[in-house]
C-alpha cells in the first residue's frame, strides 16, 4: 500500500501514479502522506538514527533499492565564540559530497532507479551536480550535468572526478535547468534537478533537516531558522518538516524562517521588500557575486519559500561579497567551521538581525551551514598571503616567531 499521494499545487488534483509533473496541467506536484498512524510516526521521529530511518515520509517504495552513503545526521553545533547567544550551526558541510544536496540525491536516485531510469540529468551551479555525480557513481547510471560556463573550475573538476559528463552552458543555472526540460524526453533522462517543478520526489529530503534539528534540541523549536536561498527548495522543505512535527504533536509551534540571498542575485529578497505576493517574484537578469551556489536567476521554488517566510512572520535580507567573505572567515576562525560562501550569507543576515534587534535577546536561532567551503579553496587561497618557509633550525625558528607573531 502506498503511503502517499502526489497532489498538484496548481489544479489540486491528486494522483496515485508517480509522475515528475502533473499529468493534467503540468503543475508542480508534492507528496501528501497518510498521518493516520501517528504513534508509528512519532516513534520513528524519536528513534531515527539515520536519514533513511525517516523513509515513511519519503515518496519511495518500501522495497526499492536505496542509493545511500551516510547522508544526513549532521551535527548541530552551539556557536560559542561569535557573540550571538542562542545561536546554533547545523553543519550540512559534513555530508558525503559536502552539501545538503546529498540528502536530495539519495531520494531522487533511489526513485529514478525505482522508475527504471537508465540515465539522469541535472542543471546545477556545482553542488547539486557534484552530489548527483557521486550518487550516480553508486547507482551505476550515466549522469549528465549542465553547469553555467562561469562555474569555478574546481567545482567542474569535482563533478568530473565522480565520472559524470559535464556540459558547461553559456547561461545561468536557471537557463541550464530550462534547457534540460526541453531535451529530457528526447534522451529518456530522468531529471534530478533539486527543484520541485522538475523533481518533486527530492523535495521531501530537506524536511529531514527540520526533523533532525528538533530532535537535537530535544523537541524545542528554535525561534528562527536562517537558510540561504537559491531556488528556495531547502527553505520550503525545512518549513514543511516543522509543519509535520507540529501535526504529529511532537512540537508546539513553528519557527520563523529567514531567507538569505546574495546582493548580486536577490529575486526573493526584492519581492519580500516590495511586499509582493509569492507568485510575483521576478527573474534577475545577470546574477553576480561569489556565492555561486545560490546564484539562481529565478528561484524555482521561490513561491513556496516566500509563502513560508510570510506565513511564519519571517524575514528576508541579502549580503554582499565583502560581508560574505568576512563572515566566512569569521566562522572558520571563531567556530572551526569551514562554511561555503552561500552559507556565510545566512550568517551575515542573522548578524544584521541581531544588531538591529529584530532577533531579540534570549531567542534561539539555527543557521543552516548548507555547504562545506573547502570547494572554494582556490578563491580563498588567492585572497590571503601564504606563510614563507623557515630554515629547520632553532635560531631561525626563534627569529621567525619573533618577526611573524611577535613572541
Ligand X SMILES: *Cc1c(COP(=O)(O)O)cnc(C)c1O
- Please report, as ranges, the residues that interact with ligand X according to CB under 6 A: 99, 101, 127-128, 194, 228-234, 293-294, 340, 342-343, 370-371
Cβ–Cβ under 8 Å, residues 359 and 353 = yes
- Name the residue nearer to ligand X (CB basis): 110 or 194: 194
**Whether the Cβ atoms of residue 214 and residue 221 lie closer than 8 Å to each other:** yes
Closer of 269 and 342 to ligand X (Cβ)? 342
Identify what 8 binds: Zn ion, ligand X, none; CB under 5 to 8 Å per kind: Zn ion
Interacting partner of 6 out of Zn ion, ligand X, none (Cβ under 5 to 8 A depending on kind): none
Read off the C-alpha cell for 39: 504513534
Residue 60 or 205: the one with the smaller Cβ distance to ligand X is 205
Phi-psi group of 220: left, alpha or beta (phi > 0 → left; psi -120 to 50 → alpha; rest → beta): beta
CB nearer Zn ion, residue 23 or residue 152: 23
Least distance (Å) from ligand X to the CB of residue 232? 5
Name which of 162, 147, 149, 156 is nearest 193 in CA terms.
Answer: 147
In the complex, the smallest distance separating the C-beta of residue 296 from ligand X, rounded to whole angstroms, is: 6
Residue 183 C-beta: closest distance to Zn ion, Å: 23
Whichever of 100 and 211 has its CB closer to ligand X, that residue is 100
Rounded to 5 degrees, φ, ψ at 35 are -105, 20
Q: How far apart are CA 129 and CA 373, in angstroms?
A: 16
230 binds, among ligand X, Zn ion, none (CB under 5 to 8 A by kind): ligand X
Smallest distance from ligand X to CB 127, Å: 3
Rounded alpha-carbon distances, angstroms, from residue 256 to 130, 242, 362: 31, 10, 15
The one of ligand X, Zn ion, none whose footprint includes residue 231, by CB under 5 to 8 A per kind, is ligand X
Q: Which residues bind Zn ion (CB under 5 A)?
A: 8, 10-11, 22, 24-25, 27
Task: Give the residue from 204, 215, 194, 203 showing the smallest Cα distance to 75.
Answer: 215
The Cα–Cα gap between 1 and 121 comes to: 30
Of 6 and 370, nearer to ligand X (C-beta) is 370
Q: Which of ligand X, Zn ion, none lies near 221, with the C-beta cut-off 5 to 8 A by kind?
A: none
> Hey, CA dihedral for 343, 346, 352, 355, is it positive or negative?
negative
What is the nearest approach in angstroms of ligand X to the Cβ of residue 301? 6
Using CB distances below 5 to 8 A depending on partner kind, what does residue 229 bind out of Zn ion, ligand X, none? ligand X
| Residue 41 or 209 with smaller CB distance to ligand X | 209
- Could you tell which of Zn ion, ligand X, none binds residue 101, using a CB distance below 5 to 8 A set by kind? ligand X
The Cβ-side half-sphere exposure at 47, using a 13 Å CA radius, reads 9
- The alpha carbon of residue 383 and the mean position of all alpha carbons in its chain are separated, in whole angstroms, by 26
Amino acid at each position: 500500500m502506498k503511503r502517499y499521494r502526489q497532489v498538484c499545487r496548481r489544479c489540486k488534483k491528486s494522483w496515485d501514479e508517480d509522475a515528475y509533473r502533473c499529468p493534467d496541467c503540468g503543475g508542480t506536484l508534492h507528496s501528501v502522506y497518510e498521518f493516520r498512524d501517528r504513534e508509528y510516526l512519532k516513534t520513528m521521529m524519536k528513534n531515527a538514527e539515520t536519514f533513511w530511518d525517516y523513509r515513511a515520509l519519503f515518496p519511495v517504495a518500501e522495497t526499492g533499492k536505496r542509493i545511500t552513503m551516510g547522508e544526513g545526521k549532521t551535527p548541530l553545533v552551539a556557536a560559542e565564540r561569535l557573540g550571538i547567544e542562542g545561536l546554533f550551526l547545523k553543519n550540512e558541510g559534513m555530508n558525503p559530497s559536502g552539501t545538503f544536496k546529498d540528502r536530495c540525491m539519495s531520494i531522487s536516485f533511489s526513485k529514478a532507479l525505482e522508475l527504471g531510469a537508465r540515465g539522469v540529468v541535472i542543471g546545477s551551479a556545482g553542488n547539486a551536480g557534484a552530489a548527483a555525480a557521486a550518487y550516480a557513481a553508486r547507482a551505476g547510471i550515466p549522469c549528465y550535468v549542465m553547469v553555467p560556463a562561469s562555474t569555478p573550475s574546481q567545482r567542474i573538476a569535482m563533478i568530473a572526478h565522480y565520472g559524470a559528463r559535464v556540459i558547461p552552458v553559456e547561461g545561468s543555472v536557471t537557463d541550464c535547468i530550462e534547457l534540460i526540460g526541453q531535451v529530457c524526453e528526447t534522451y529518456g533522462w530522468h531529471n534530478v534537478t533539486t527543484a520541485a517543478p522538475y523533481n518533486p520526489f527530492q523535495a521531501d529530503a530537506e524536511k529531514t533537516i527540520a526533523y533532525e534539528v528538533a530532535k537535537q534540541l530535544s523537541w524545542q523549536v528554535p525561534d528562527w531558522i536562517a537558510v540561504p536561498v537559491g531556488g528556495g527548495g531547502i527553505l520550503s522543505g525545512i518549513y514543511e518538516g516543522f509543519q509535520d512535527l507540529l501535526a504529529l504533536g511532537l512540537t508546539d509551534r513553528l519557527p520563523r524562517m529567514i531567507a538569505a540571498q546574495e546582493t548580486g542575485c536577490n529575486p526573493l529578497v526584492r519581492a519580500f521588500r516590495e511586499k509582493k505576493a509569492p507568485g510575483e517574484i521576478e527573474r534577475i537578469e545577470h546574477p553576480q557575486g561569489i556565492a555561486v551556489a545560490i546564484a539562481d536567476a529565478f528561484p524555482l521554488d521561490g513561491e513556496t519559500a516566500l509563502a513560508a517566510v510570510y506565513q511564519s512572520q519571517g524575514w528576508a535580507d541579502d549580503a554582499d561579497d565583502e560581508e560574505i567573505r568576512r563572515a566566512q572567515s569569521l566562522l572558520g576562525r571563531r567556530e572551526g567551521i569551514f562554511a561555503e560562501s552561500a552559507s556565510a550569507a545566512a550568517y551575515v543576515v542573522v548578524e544584521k538581525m541581531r544588531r538591529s534587534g529584530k532577533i531579540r535577546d534570549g531567542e534561539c536561532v539555527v543557521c543552516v551551514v548548507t555547504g562545506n567551503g573547502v570547494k572554494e579553496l582556490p578563491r580563498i587561497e588567492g585572497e590571503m598571503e601564504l606563510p614563507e618557509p623557515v630554515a629547520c633550525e632553532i635560531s631561525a625558528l626563534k627569529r621567525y616567531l619573533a618577526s611573524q607573531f611577535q613572541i
